Amino acid sequence: MATSGTTTFNLDISDIMEEAYDLCGLELRSGYSYRGAKRALNLVFLEWQNKGLNLWTIEQGSATLTAGTSSYTIDASALDVVDAFIRTNAGNTSSQFDQRLNRISRTEYNHQSNKLTQSKPTQFYVDKDNDAVKIVLWSTPDSQETYSLIYDYVKRIEDVGVVASNEADVPTRYLPCLTYALAYNLACKSPEAQQRVPMIRQRYMELWEEVSEADREKASIRFVPDLTMSGY
């Protein structure tokens, strides 16, 4: 059996828009239609970021800690922090050591009686505002060792951009779901496509469920008995 031997299929932004309009039974004719579709696609990306954790958007960052400084602004594209730990003796194959930090709430941090206490940090909270995301450590790092802060963060999905030949900042397996998501947004705004809205929405929800399930982390579960209980 002859096959192509390639696995490089992708859709650029213009392809996604054309496919979405086809699903609506409409034509992408004017510059206004193009601008509206681009705006709707950016809104879809924002919607997806509110739906939960997407593994393809996880990146890892790092920062060298400074004694006496507890707050660190992280990557500008970050939306939230998934995990964080303190690394000592970075790069030393025999003594490098990672210690996981426990995430606490702002309220729990505020309840710490002395925020100037200096030692090896054990906790952090995430300070999110419109301008930046910051990791705030407790306790404040001391100068006894050189500490590195390693953190996994959720990055923002990149905008569509101005060039129609750009590709969407999503894995290719998400393209069917993305085209239906855009089609649903376009159909809701178009009187001519109202009859197709229920069908498009249903298929969009089905595709989202499929890709969400595929994007979940696959890890085995290991149960460990608590040997500290009485009788053991």
Supply the range of the domain harboring residue 33.
13-53+157-214
Sequence letter at residue 89: N
In a domain, 224, yes or no: no
The conformational region for residue 89 under phi > 0 = left, psi -120 to 50 = alpha, else beta, is left
Number of structural domains, the chain? 2
Q: What is the average per-residue pLDDT within 19-48? A: 92
pLDDT the model gives residue 226: 53
In a domain, 223, yes or no: no
In a domain, 222, yes or no: no
CB 215 within 8 A of CB 55: yes
Alpha helices for the chain (secondary structure H): 13-24, 31-49, 106-110, 175-189, 197-214
Q: Are 40 and 87 contained in the same domain?
A: no
Tell me if the bond preceding 139 is cis, omega within 30° of 0. yes
Q: What is the average per-residue pLDDT within 33-42? A: 94
pLDDT the model gives residue 231: 46
Torsion angle of alpha carbons 53, 59, 64, 67, nearest 10°?
A: -10
Q: What is the pTM of this model?
A: 0.84
- Each residue's pLDDT tens digit, 107-132: 999 999 999 999 999 999 999 988 88
| Count of beta carbons in the 10 Å neighbourhood of residue 194 | 12
In a domain, 165, yes or no: yes
pLDDT the model gives residue 53: 74
Task: Give me the chain's average pLDDT, please.
Answer: 90
